[in-house]
Amino acid sequence: MVWRRLGSSDPRLALFTLPVTRDESTNVDLSVRLGRLCLPNPVLVASGTFGYAREMAGLVDLAKLGGVIPKTITRHPRPGNAPWRTVETPAGMLNSIGLDNDGVEAFVTHHLPYLATIGAPVIISIAGQDYDDFVGLTARLNGLAGVAAIELNISCPNVSHGVDFGTDPLMCERVVRGAREACSFPILAKLTPNVTRIAEIALAAEAGGADALSVINTCLGMAVDWRRRRPLLGNVMGGLSGPAIKPIALRAVYQVAAAVKIPVIGVGGIATIDDAMEFIVAGATAIQVGTANFYRPRASMEILEALPGALAELGARSVAEVVGTMRANF
Ligand SMILES: Cc1cc2nc3c(=O)[nH]c(=O)nc-3n(C[C@H](O)[C@H](O)[C@H](O)COP(=O)(O)O)c2cc1C
């Protein structure tokens, strides 16, 4: 896919854009703008739940998605955590994958060429153990064909130093600024719910120059086999996801959207059009479908198909008209 750059001769101010997507039957404009990133619609798929897209190609019309965020990559290959790495829970799942991936060079060689052909914007998720890791990775990806934006995973609960940058406002601001200066792509920061005041971290990411915020990554949890007196996950603790965390994610999106001026992408337990609309009226400009991809691989398509009708039901002609319109005063 060729990305048109508009707006400025300074590459860091360039606007990445696709043609506006308008639903023909309802005439509703589905396109959304996340800072310098314009997406054809607000339905994305979340990192770590959609592989590198190839795995899902037979199930999902990839070109229709508002965005695809492949599994987080790191500078060097990582084997991931010891098994078990996933456990089913009531209304959700725990995972402690541990950012298992083959490293950035293997990604650029083996996965990016395919991702560049899928027809949807591709947002590369990266994680680092320290500042140099994050900034070095961002610089490595800078300018590569097929990349629409970069999502900084500063919120992985399953690796050492995984949440350092997502829990300390000063570290968060510095790493976002470093990434922003190292590349011309729009920068998203993905926040963890495992903090006392998520709005403080959101404000720090905004001050560092993030184009938008993805809210939330998984909630730290645990599962126990009491007969064997052992944890079920090899890493003892893991990240809880799925419908169980939707209320937490909704609350976090609402708090963050009230605190910052940049757009928020809602993530956490979204599986249906009703879930998606709840996030949008609570303050999300776009949404990511995560765990639902495992048990209903077409959930993102179903949400996308139902979206124009849901927006029209509210009398809206665009997504933007509905974002953050929930009234908290009764
Ligand atoms: C098995 C699994 C692996 C994940 N891997 C990543 C990852 O590599 N990077 C990341 O930013 N988030 C990762 N996540 C978190 C999801 O992207 C998402 O933020 C979270 O699961 C909440 O959304 P959901 O409830 O819709 O799944 C992973 C989640 C699951 C369930």
Strand-pair category, 187-191 with 149-153: parallel
Output the pLDDT for position 129: 93
User: What whole-number percentage of the chain has pLDDT above 90?
Assistant: 88
Atom of ligand 1 nearest to the CA of 292: 26
Atom of ligand 1 nearest to the CA of 243: 25
pLDDT higher than 50, residue 7: no
Please tell me what DSSP assigns to residue 324: T
Output the pLDDT for position 41: 98
Atom of ligand 1 nearest to the CA of 95: 1
pLDDT band at 21 (very low <50, low <70, confident <90, very high): confident
Q: What is the dihedral of CA 158, 93, 197, 129, to 10 degrees?
A: 20
Beta bridge partner(s), residue 5: 16
Output the pLDDT for position 65: 98
Tokens of 36: 């310098």
195 contacts: CB under 8 Å, gap ≥ 6: 166, 167, 201
Q: What is the mean predicted confidence (pLDDT) over 159-179? A: 94
Output the pLDDT for position 11: 43
Output the pLDDT for position 25: 82
Contact criterion met (CB below 8 Å) for 48 and 98: no
Query: How many Å lie between the centroid of ligand 1 and the Cα of residue 269?
Result: 10
User: Could you tell me which residue, 13 or 276, shows the higher pLDDT?
Assistant: 276
Output the pLDDT for position 118: 98
pLDDT band at 23 (very low <50, low <70, confident <90, very high): confident
Q: Read off φ and ψ for residue 328, nearest 5 degrees.
A: -85, -15
What residues are in contact with ligand 1 under a 6 Å CB criterion?
A: 46-49, 71-72, 93, 95, 97, 99, 125, 153, 156, 190, 217-218, 241-242, 245, 267-270, 290-291
Mean pLDDT score of the chain: 93
pLDDT higher than 50, residue 184: yes
Ligand 1 pocket test target in 217, 289, 293 with most atoms within 8 Å of CB: 217
Burial of 24 (0-12, 13-18, 19+ CB in 10 A): exposed
Active site residue 156: yes
Give the H or E element holding residue 9.
none
pLDDT band at 4 (very low <50, low <70, confident <90, very high): very low
pTM: 0.95
Output the pLDDT for position 162: 84
Tokens of 132: 């140099």
* CB atoms closer than 10 angstroms to residue 113: 11
The alpha-carbon radius of gyration of the chain (Å, integer) is 18
Q: Where are the beta strands (DSSP E) in the chain?
A: 4-6, 15-17, 32-34, 37-39, 43-45, 67-68, 86-89, 92-95, 123-126, 149-153, 187-191, 212-215, 219-222, 224-225, 230-231, 237-241, 264-267, 286-289
SS3 64: helix
